[in-house]
Structures are given as C-alpha cells and as structure tokens.
Chains A and B, each alone.
Chain A
Amino acid sequence: MKRILFVDDDPNVLSGLQRMLRPRRTEWEMAFAPGPEAALTALSESPFDVIVSDMRMPGMDGAMLLARVQAEHPEIVRIVLSGHTELEAAMRAVPVAHQFLCKPCDADILKAVIERAFDLRALLENETVRATVASMDKLPSVPRLYAALTKALADPESSVDDIATIVQGDVGMCAKLLHLTNSAFFGQSRAVTNVHRAVALLGTRTVKNLVLGVEMFSAFPGNADDGRFFEALQDHALRSARIAARLLPDKAQSDDAFMAAMLHDIGQLILRTRLREPFIAAVAEADRTGRPLHAIEREACGVTHAEVGAYLLGLWGLPYPILQAVAYHHAPAATGSRGFDVAAAVHVANVLQHEQDAPRTGVPPEPFDPAWLAALGVTDRLPQWRAAAEAVATAA
C-alpha cells in the first residue's frame, strides 16, 4: 500500500481531497493532517511515501515543514500544493519540494504527479539509495561556471542570453533551472527544456535570487581530483548535448535531446557526492578493466548512475522523454521505442562523444548495438552522425 499524507490548514480542502480521492483508497492509504504539527506527529507514527503540503499555514509554514521532512524522512517525496501563485512562493519551495502544484489543481494532475512519484520507485529498488537521492536539494556546479554566473548576474549589462549561455554549460544549474520552470507555478502547457527559454521565463532577477538569495546553485566543494572529474563530466555532457541536438530535426525534440544529453550523466554527479567511496572505486575499476562503468556500478553500488539521475530528475518533475533518455542512455533498446527519439539521440550522442574522446582518454567506447540500429532502420545514418559529431568538435 502506498501511503500519502495531505497537510492543509483549511479543513475544507482536506475533506474535498479526501472525497475526491476516495476511489483510490484501494491502492493508496491516505492520511489528512489539519496542520504542520499534526503532520509531524503522523510522520513520526507511521511511514509515508509522499507528502502533499499547503505552503502558507499559521505557525510553521509549508517550506519549514518540508525542510523538516527532508531532514528527518528524506525518502518521502515532497509535493507542495499551494494557493499562492507568485514566484516568491515558488522560490521558497524550490529548496525543499520535489514538485510544486497550484491550487486549484486539476484532480487528474494531482493524481498523475502522485502516481509518477510511485512509478519512479521502479527505477530505484534500493530504498536507502532512494532516500539519499531524494534528500538532494541542489546539485554542485563547476566552480568556474558558478563564478562566471555570479559575475554575470552582478553586471547590470548582462542579458538573458549571457546568463542562459553560462547556465547551459553546467549540468547542475540546468537541472535545477528546469526543476523550477517545469513546476506548475508557471502553468506551461508544454514542458520547458530550453535553457534560454527558461531564463527568459524566470527573468534574470529571479535567477539572481536563485543563485544569490536561495543559494540554489553552489560551487562544488571537492578537492582537485573532484575538480578534474567534474570538468571532464561537464565537457562530455556539453559536447554530447551539442551532438544530440543535431541528430533530431524537430526544434522541440532537438531541445529535449540537448537537455537530455546534457543531463544524461547527472547520476555520476550524485554518486560522486553521495556515494563517494564506492563510486570512485567503480570509476577506477572501469578505467583499469575497460568494462562499462554502469555494469561495475551495478555490482558495487547496486544502482547505475543512469537510474539515479533519472530518479532525481523524475522527482523534480522534468518531462518524461528526458527521464527516459537519461535512464536508458546505455540501453536504448529497453525503452521499446520503435522510432528514433530523444532517448535514441542521447544514446548515439553519448557513444559518439566517447568515440571522439577515446584517443585522448584511452577508454574504449561502447559499440553500437547493430540489432537496435537495424530495428530502428538508421544503420545507414551512422556516417552522417559521425560527420555531425566532427562538426561539433571542430566548432567547439
């Protein structure tokens, strides 16, 4: 049974939800707390999988409540359901909520968001790892980019494009930015995957507040080895993204592909910060043996960076094509897709980028799965893709 806790200071809202969700009672076990204190009591008494909380409540507000939940029960998926529509409220919720929903919230959307939180669990069987990932409220950025961003934000001359260009180069910033812009606060009919559009949507002032006020972005605090690792990861992500964007002709798909490729190794960032020792050992072993990293991760950590990354992005409400592409970037065939979609493009871009790097790093790239290429009917496009990848490499 999946357990959900609803918190709101208005009893009418709770009873409305209770009635509306009654048909789900066979799958969901729902509890309704009329305030933050009651919610904390309920949480201490029995385990929950998801919490849906109002923002503005007397005494302790929703952000404070969710911060405590984050600290005490990191495995619980935290969702905000607020009557506030202004950006400030979203900003306060960003650090603590996986998802933000606005009142009035369509019943189907509410159900879908909750369902999705449960579905995501299929990605990560290990509950400890799930809690670890769910407790991540921000992702580290490359110090160089972080410094460039703060400088650009302090400069009144900076344009939206200047800022978007910097954000686009950083995996952590991209993910966090999309986390915010894809929340219901912006009421976008279609998911936003283009960083320029996201920055324009938020406005530079909000981005500034995210960086300097809420400190949503932060420089990665590790040592020199970590620094090198992150730089290489960023570099690989950005190159792959540029390649992936060229593989799909449709503008929207191309945006999705760029972002998915940008974020495809985000799981490595998470593992490097949260499961540091086993992950570093796994990377070392992969370098030594030439075996694929995800295979060693599975043995050492029980999860792969693809699963971890997809899980976090899923919690953050990023659109499904990106999640899929991140989750299956090593095994595109597993998606069961019959067309050359975003996930396929990310897989191809990833392999091509590794191929380009192979002479330098000495790590052999994973070969393409001929059966999969044949199934999609794109075998003959391989040379074309390689040319595109070359073009990107020389352009950069």
Chain B
Amino acid sequence: VIRRGAQLLLGAGALAGLTALYVGATAPDIERHRAVTARLHELKQVDAHLRENLLGSRFNLLMSYDPLVADVQRLRDIHDELATAGVEAAGHDRRVVRTTRKVGVMLARLELLLDDFKSRNAILRNSLRFFPVAALEVDASLVRDRVNLELRESLNRLVQDVLALAVGVDKGQQARVESIMWVLGAERPDVDALLAHVRAILEQLREVDRLLRTVAALPTAAAYEALDGAHHAVYALALRRSNLYRVYLYGTGVVLIACVSVVLLRLGRSTAALRRAVADLQAQRGELDALNHDLEGRVRTRTEETEAIIAALSSFLLSVDGRGAITHWNRAAERLFARPAGAVIGRPWAECGIRWDWDTVRNQVDRIVASGRWGWLDDVVYTRPDGTMGIVKPSLAPVVSPDGSRGFVMTGNDVTEQRTLQSQLDQAQRLESVGRLAAGIAHEINTPIQFVGDNTRFLKDAFARFEDMLAAYRRYAEGGGDAALLAATKRAEEEADVGYLVEEVPKAIEQALDGVSRVASIVRAMKEFAHPDRGDKVRTDLNQALVSTLTVARNELKYVADVETDLGDLPSVPCYVGELNQAFLNILVNAAHAIGDVVQSTGARGTIRVRTWRDDGQVAIAIADTGGGIPDGIRERIFDPFFTTKDVGRGTGQGLAIARNVIVEKHGGSLSFETEVGRGTTFIIRLPVGNGADSVMVPA
C-alpha cells in the first residue's frame, strides 16, 4: 500500500511539474505588449503636440485653449489606460507600476501648470488688448495739451517696447520701459491707468514665462522612457523565462521518451518470459502427469534397491521399531553375529543373540534415542561366532515412527584391527620420538658411566693400596713396636699416597654414586616418558610428568639453554600421560631449536621456563623460550601437519601438529601461544581437571 501510494504521489508530482513547465513555457502576449508600446508612443506624440500648442497659445498663434485641453485630456486617457491595461499586461511588475504612477503624477502637475498658465495668459491677453487703447487715449491727451513732442515719442516707444516684450524680445526694452514709465509718471498724472496696464503686462509676462519654463522643464520624456523601459524589461524577462522553460520542457520530454522506451522494452521482455513460463508450465504439467504415472513403479524399484544396498553394506545394520522389535537385519549382521535374518526379524531386539555387554549397550542406546540425535556408541567388546573377542563401533540414528513411537537404526563395523593398529601407531610415534632422543640419552648415560667407571677403577686401586698399608700395620702390630717395622709402615703410607687417597676416596665414592643416580634417574624418566597408555585416562601428577620429560630431553636442551622450572601446586589431571609427555617433549624440543637458531655458535645461552599453575578448574602449563619468536607470516600455520621451517633431518613438521592433537582432541584442552619476534615464544597448555568420577589415581 505504501509503495502504491508513493507511486501515485510520484505520478501526480511529475504531472504537476510538467504542467508548470508547460505554463512557464508559453510565450508572453505580444499583442498586448504591442498595444502598450503603441500607447506609449502616442503618449509621447500627444505630449509633444501639447508643448507645441502651449508655445502657440503663448504667442497668440493659438486663439483657443481647446487643443491644449484636448491634449491634456488625451494624455490623461492614455495614462489611465496604461495604469489599468498596461500594468496588467506587465503582470503588475513593480517597476512598471512605479513608473506608471510617476507618469500620472507628472500629468497631474502638468494639468495644474496648464490651468495656471491659462488664467495668467488670459489676463495678459486682456491687458495687451487694452494697453494700445490706453496708449492712444494718453497720446490724444498729449496732443490735446500740446505737450512737447518728446513725451509723445517716449510714449510711442513705450508701446513699441511693451509689444516687443510681449512677443518675447528683450534687447534692453525692459530697462527702457522702466525709465519711460518713471518719466511719464512724473510728467503726467493722467497716465496711471496706462502704467497699471504696463505693470500688469510685465508681471503676467514674467509669470507666464516662468510657467512655460516650468512646463518645459517637466521631465515627462524621461518618465515616458522609464515606463517604456520598464515595460520592455518586463517583456524581455518574460520572453527569456519562457525560452528557459521551453528548454526544460524539451529536456523532460527527451527523458520521458527514454523512460517510456525502457518500460516498453521490459514490458516486451517480460511478456516473452511470461509466454515461455506458461509454455514451460504446460510442459511440466505434462511431465508431472507422466511422472505421477510412473511413480508407483519407481517407489517399488527404489525400495527393492534400498533393500539390496542395505543387504550389501559391509557394515552391519539393524533397525528396531518403536515396540523394540527388529525390522531389519542385513547380511553383514548375519555374518558378524552369526544369526540369520529370518531368526531375528520381528523378535525383541534384546533377544537377537549378540554377545556383548547388554547393560552398557542398552544404556547408551536409550540415551541416544532419548536425545533424538544421531550419535556414536563407545567401543563395544563382543564375542565373535568363533569365540574370539572383537570390538565394534556402532552408531545410532533414532527413528520416529508415524505413530510417534521411537525406534532406531544401528550400523557399525568390526574395528578390532583398526584399534589394534591405532594403539600400535601411537606407541610407534612415541618410540620414534624416544629414538630421536636416543642419541642424546645415550650421551646422558655414557658420560656418568665414564666417571663411575673411572672412579670405581680408582677405588679398586685405592683399596689395593689400603690393603698393602693394612699388611704393614699388621706386621707392625704383631712385631710389638719394632722401630724398623714402624718405618716400614711409614714407607707403605708414602707409597700408597695415603694423603691423596684419604682426601679423594670419599669424593670418588660420592661422584660414583652421583653418576649412578644420574643414570638411574634418566632410565626412570625414560620409562615414565614412554609409559604406554592403556584404555582409560589416568589421574596423573603433571609436574612429575614434566620433570620426566625434561630429564629425557636434557641433552637436547642443556647446550643451548638453562631450564628454569616453577611448578605450582597442581591437582592430578585425568590424562593419557604418555601422549601428553610427547606433546611436552615436542614443544620443548621446538623451544631448544628456536634458541639454538638464535645463539648458534656464539656461546651465549637462552632460557627455557616451565611454569605450571592451577587456573579456574584447569591446569595451565607455560613453556617459554628466549628464541627468535615466530614471524608474523607463519603464525597461523605452525600447527599445520608437515609445516616446518627446520632443515631436513631436524624436524618433520609433525611436532606441534601432534601436540595440538593430543592436547585439544584427546584431552579437550587448549594450546595457544604468545610470541614476539626477537624475544621468544611462550606456549600455553590448558587441561581440564575434570571431576575424576570416571578415573582412578595412579602414580605417574
């Protein structure tokens, strides 16, 4: 559901995106833009026309103000249009709105200025119309009063100058008008009306000119341009944006086409696969029908085959159902136990006639059947048909019948020969290591025998001399203190070298005894070392075992290393002591070789430390050497059989592999090592102490 929802959302999103892209890609409305541009153009034209008319009305070229009013009205209309339709066309662009408003403000200002202009210009026109009339009246009065000609000329000039000023000419006329007015005012009191006209004209002229200048200075053109520019910018932007969207739209289109192609392709393939699957299904269905048809026959054949295989097995096989009755009894079983199948099948299996220790076998069978898992029985001694004893090693597979009762299948072989060979092989391996040590042991024995012999020889000589002396003493004793005989005893003592003898004989005896005990101890150690293991594990003092092994290996070790022992208080450990001795020996010999490689012929000596301690239900033995350590690259391989770094003849590469097998496989212990290149290696052996219920204490 979540996935379906996600897919729907994805589709909707894609659709919305596409629509947005499409909308964005539509081109801005060119007609509207053109209309706006036309309005703007017209605005500029009307503005120009207005200014022309304004000048015309100033200089009386325009008699009516109507054109001006019409122009202003037109400007206002265009502006209003731009403020509505134009702004809308620009999408209410801020710059367009601002510039449009600025144009509106400008137009309002223009309207105000024009109103002012109109009123002032009307006053001016009026004054200019009445001024010549007033001048004519003054002239008439001048003529009438026969005032001098000079004054009349001044008046005439005043009229001329004022009219010149009125059409915008000022070449000193302004100043002259002021002086004439002052003269006339002083000479004639009846000229006030005329002068008032002049003053009004001059004032209105100034004002009108100021207004015209103001209008002229109004930055209408700039405002229009700004508006035009804003519109243009908006349009150009819209145009660019729509182009961009178009590009996006095209790109998306291409991607979409690709996706659709892929989808179509896969669709085509899956359709083909579907079609094939359907075809296969139909074919299989056909086969299934055929197989079904054949199955019963096959089951029959297979059952026969299975029976044949069971019969042909070289191992004996018997099966017992949930009620304890024998259901299978193969040919090997017939042969091994001398009972024909016909005589036992269907009968309780306890009555099948095999001659072995039924209590033990039944116990183990019950245990394995109860566990529900396949398992081995321990070796079972049975009596063969010919009366000899043999060993079988049965394995048991519990079988649950459809009714829930538990039976089993038992298979096995006569392993008597194998077991015999195995024990011979173990013994042979140990003898081999003894043989390897034999030369060293011979040396260890030969050396003490040498000095035992020498000392004994010396004692023999010494005793002969003592006898000579004794004879002299006797003669002296019998001779009753004869001085000549006393001198003879002295001489006999000198000849016998008695001082030397007295000093050396005790030492000779001591050293001879020492030699004898050395030989005795090595012989004893050899006996212990080669102790043959029989059947069960035996509780053993491992410290004693280590001492024996060290004694046997003494000759291998003593020329390269000092042996230090730190043997802790250990509980006896159930073990095959002969095999453990061999494991210790292999590790010790390795240690000696490791040290030998380092000290070579430098005369230096290493140290082998043997330490034992009790450690949490285990006995731990550490054998440390000061050899070269084990290089990084081979640490994982040292326990591999036949792996060796030693020269040919010095090691077969079996030593550590055997040690590991003995300690780990046969005793459930562990063999680990710590090593540092250049510093040495420590092997650590850990053996479980066990509860001791199944073994007996025997001295090592």
Contacts and interface: CB of A to CB of B under 8 A. Distances in A.
Contacts of B445: 83
Interface centre among A16, A81, A102 (most CB of B within 10 A): A16
B455 A16 contact: yes
Contact of A16 (B442, B450, B601): B450
A60 B442 contact: no
A16 B439 contact: no
B432 interface: no
A15 B447 contact: no
B49 interface: no
A64 B603 CA distance: 12
Interface centre among A20, A84, A107 (most CB of B within 10 A): A20
B458 A20 contact: yes
A60 B458 CA distance: 30
A58 B605 contact: yes
Contacts of A22: 458, 497, 500
Given A22-B500, A85-B446, A107 B454 contact: yes
Given A20-B457, A64-B601, A12 B448 contact: yes
Given A12-B515, A64-B601, A85-B439, A19 B447 contact: no
Contacts of B461: 23
A60 B604 CA distance: 10
A59 interface: yes
B450 A13 contact: yes
Given A12-B515, A15-B511, A56-B559, A83 B458 contact: no
Interface in A1-48: 10, 12-13, 15-17, 19-20, 22-23
Contacts of B605: 58
Nearest to A36: B603
A104 B443 contact: no
Interface centre among B444, B446, B514, B558 (most CB of A within 10 A): B446
B446 A103 contact: yes
A86 interface: yes
B507 interface: yes
A375 interface: no
B603 A12 contact: no
Given A16-B458, A22-B458, A10 B439 contact: no
Contact of B442 (A17, A19, A84, A107): A84
A351 B439 CA distance: 49
A201 interface: no
A16 B454 contact: yes
A250 B602 CA distance: 54
A300 interface: no
Contacts of B558: 58
Interface in A76-120: 81-86, 102-107
B454 A20 contact: yes
A103 B457 CA distance: 15
B451 interface: yes
B449 interface: yes
Interface in B645-676: none
Contacts of B511: 12, 15-16
Contacts of A84: 439, 442-443, 446
Nearest to A17: B454
B508 interface: yes
A132 B511 CA distance: 41
A58 B558 CA distance: 8
Contacts of B452: 16, 104
B20 to A, nearest CB: 94
Given A12-B514, A59-B603, A102 B457 contact: no
A85 B447 CA distance: 11
Nearest to A107: B457
A384 B610 CA distance: 77
Given A15-B507, A83-B446, A107 B453 contact: yes
Nearest to A106: B453
A2 to B, nearest CB: 20
A66 to B, nearest CB: 15
Contacts of A64: 601
Interface residues of B, number: 33
Contact of A102 (B439, B446, B458, B602): B446
Contact of B455 (A20, A59, A82): A20
A19 B603 contact: no
B504 interface: yes
Contacts of A16: 450-455, 458, 508, 511
A83 B445 CA distance: 8
B653 to A, nearest CB: 21
A104 B439 contact: no
A81 B447 CA distance: 10
Contacts of A10: 447, 451
A105 B444 CA distance: 14
Contacts of A23: 461
Nearest to A84: B443
Contact of A103 (B447, B500, B514): B447
Contacts of B458: 16, 19-20, 22
A82 B447 CA distance: 8
Nearest to A56: B559
B321 to A, nearest CB: 65
A10 B511 CA distance: 12
Contacts of A103: 443, 446-447, 449-450
Interface in A281-321: none
A19 B457 CA distance: 9
A326 B659 CA distance: 58
Contacts of A56: 443, 559
Contacts of A59: 601-603
A15 B451 CA distance: 8
Nearest to A81: B450
A331 B137 CA distance: 203
A152 B262 CA distance: 81
A104 B453 contact: yes
Nearest to A10: B447
A177 B455 CA distance: 35
A19 B601 contact: no
Contacts of A83: 442-447, 450
B450 A19 contact: no
A83 B441 CA distance: 10
Interface string B447-472: 11111111101100100000000000
B497 to A, nearest CB: 8
A213 to B, nearest CB: 12
Interface string B428-444: 00000000000100111
A146 to B, nearest CB: 26
B451 A12 contact: yes
Interface in B389-415: none
A56 B458 CA distance: 25
A19 to B, nearest CB: 4
A102 B558 CA distance: 20
B524 to A, nearest CB: 19
B467 to A, nearest CB: 15
A64 B602 CA distance: 12
A104 B454 CA distance: 9
Interface string B492-516: 0000010010001001100100110
Interface string A59-76: 110001000000000000
A170 to B, nearest CB: 29
Contacts of A60: 601, 603
Interface of A: 10, 12-13, 15-17, 19-20, 22-23, 56-60, 64, 81-86, 102-107
9 contacts: A13-B450, A16-B450, A60-B603, A64-B601, A84-B439, A85-B439, A103-B449, A105-B450, A107-B454
Report, nearest first, the 8 A-B pairs whose CB atoms are least far apart: A16-B451, A16-B454, A59-B603, A19-B458, A83-B446, A20-B454, A83-B443, A103-B450
Interface of B: 439, 442-455, 457-458, 461, 497, 500, 504, 507-508, 511, 514-515, 558-560, 601-603, 605
Given A12-B511, A12-B515, A60-B603, 4 more contacts: A13-B447, A59-B602, A83-B450, A86-B442
